[in-house]
Homo-oligomer: A and B are copies of this chain.
Amino acid sequence: MTSGSPALAHVRGRVDRALQTFASQQSGVLLAAGEALRPGAESIAGLLASGKRLRPAFCYWGWRGAGGPDCPEIINAAAALELLHAGALVHDDLMDASDTRRGQPSVHRQFEARHAARRWHGSAGVFGMGMAILLGDLLICWTDEMFHASGLPGEALRRGRPVLDRMRTEVFAGQYLDLLGQATGDESVAGALRVVEFKTTKYTIERPLHLGAALASALADPAAAGGTAGSGVESRDGGMAGAGASLAAAYTAYGLPLGVAFQLRDDILGVFGDPAQTGKPAGDDIREGKRTVLLAIARARATAGQAQVIDRYLGDPLLDEAGTEEIRAAITATGAVEECERMIGRHVGEAIAALDGAPMSGEAREALAELAVTATARDG
């Protein structure tokens, strides 16, 4: 999904290094509390060592598009989003009872195994759960720490802060809707798209772009530093006013269709993806009974026989290779995959077109157009 992308390559290595530096500093703080914290610090460092860095890339290019210069401070601030993401993933894997993440055992499984191997007291599962909750909490808290220690001027941070706040409330609200939808058995395409809007579109694309733009707005308008810029509502919803508003609107117009395309690609990979690429076992989404747009479309289009196959395997924790092949064939036969591919193409086109005429540099426009294709490519 991310190989050979200049727009991503421009950010990724520097984000990796910023995270490594931050993780190593935080490891020092943890070990000062006790050597016993080393496995926790190592687990976090391992988790932060990989990742596509899409959210930092959107934040960075959102900043560049708003006239911000290439500098280490924006890389630090953008990298902070990966801490939030890593924390959310640790908690997500726990909620989904996922065994793997980025090709490694998930954090709760790591500590469960540690407990079991040492024959400690109590339940290994409860211990793994507790550790995953705590380490996820730490990562989520560290988002703010890295953001505020990024080195960006105070006025930039002050303007970016409400966007970061909104982004976090939205992503957890989206997860809440997702969990609730699974419980109530909501199988509508509309319900699935609502979850996508909050869990993916806003969180992965729109808010990172807005964050970059809000941070840069302080530089573009230094006279406002220290002033009471913007109304509360505008500030909360994008951190921008005046000239910046049309850029923020362009980012939204780019982010909304791209988020849907991104999620559709994720849905397809979750069912058809190669474990070597996804870092997850084949058919994991089916085994978890994940309520995706792909499946909602497949259900809506399915014949009685296809629906029977889908219902038989969806959410079956013991799904084997033969069953995976059977449900894959049924989903493909409904035409849902083709329809999703068409939707992806159309949405990516819409995203790129939304950048036309937006008040931004040519370099940022090209980078975002390229990122739209990269983030939704088949070779994920």
Q: Are A161 and B176 in contact (CB under 8 A)?
A: no
A145 at the A/B interface (Cβ < 8 Å)?
yes
Chain A positions 343 through 370: 1 when the CB is less than 8 Å from some CB of chain B, otherwise 0: 0000000000000000000000000000
A131 interface neighbour in B126, B145, B161, B176, Cβ under 8 Å: B176
Q: Are B133 and A180 in contact (CB under 8 A)?
A: no
CA distance A144 to B166 in the complex (A): 12
A177 at the A/B interface (Cβ < 8 Å)?
yes
In A161-220, the 8 Å CB interface with B consists of: 161-162, 165-166, 168-170, 172-177, 179-180, 182-185, 194, 198
CA distance A165 to B147 in the complex (A): 11
In A309-368, the 8 Å CB interface with B consists of: none
CA distance A140 to B135 in the complex (A): 13
Chain A positions 132 through 153: 1 when the CB is less than 8 Å from some CB of chain B, otherwise 0: 0111111011101100110000
Q: Are A169 and B26 in contact (CB under 8 A)?
A: yes
Q: Are B141 and A183 in contact (CB under 8 A)?
A: no
16 new A-B contacts at CB < 8 Å, known A34-B177, A120-B185, A131-B176: A33-B173, A36-B177, A91-B134, A94-B129, A95-B126, A95-B133, A121-B182, A122-B182, A133-B133, A134-B172, A134-B175, A134-B179, A137-B140, A141-B169, A141-B172, A148-B158
By a CB distance below 8 angstroms, the chain B residues around A87 are: 137
Q: Are A122 and B183 in contact (CB under 8 A)?
A: yes
Chain A positions 62 through 100: 1 when the CB is less than 8 Å from some CB of chain B, otherwise 0: 000000000000000000000000011001001101000
A115 at the A/B interface (Cβ < 8 Å)?
yes
26 residue pairs of the A-B complex, CB under 8 angstroms, read A29-B169, A29-B173, A33-B174, A34-B177, A36-B176, A36-B177, A37-B173, A37-B176, A37-B177, A40-B176, A94-B129, A95-B126, A120-B185, A121-B185, A131-B176, A131-B179, A136-B137, A137-B172, A138-B172, A140-B141, A148-B158, A148-B165, A154-B154, A154-B155, A154-B158, A154-B226
**Total identical chains:** 2
CA distance A226 to B225 in the complex (A): 12
A127 at the A/B interface (Cβ < 8 Å)?
yes
Distance between A232 CB and nearest chain B CB, rounded to angstroms? 9
The residue of chain B having its C-beta at the shortest distance from the C-beta of A139 within the complex is: B172
CA distance A166 to B140 in the complex (A): 14
Distance between A365 CB and nearest chain B CB, rounded to angstroms? 30
A30 at the A/B interface (Cβ < 8 Å)?
yes
Distance between A201 CB and nearest chain B CB, rounded to angstroms? 12
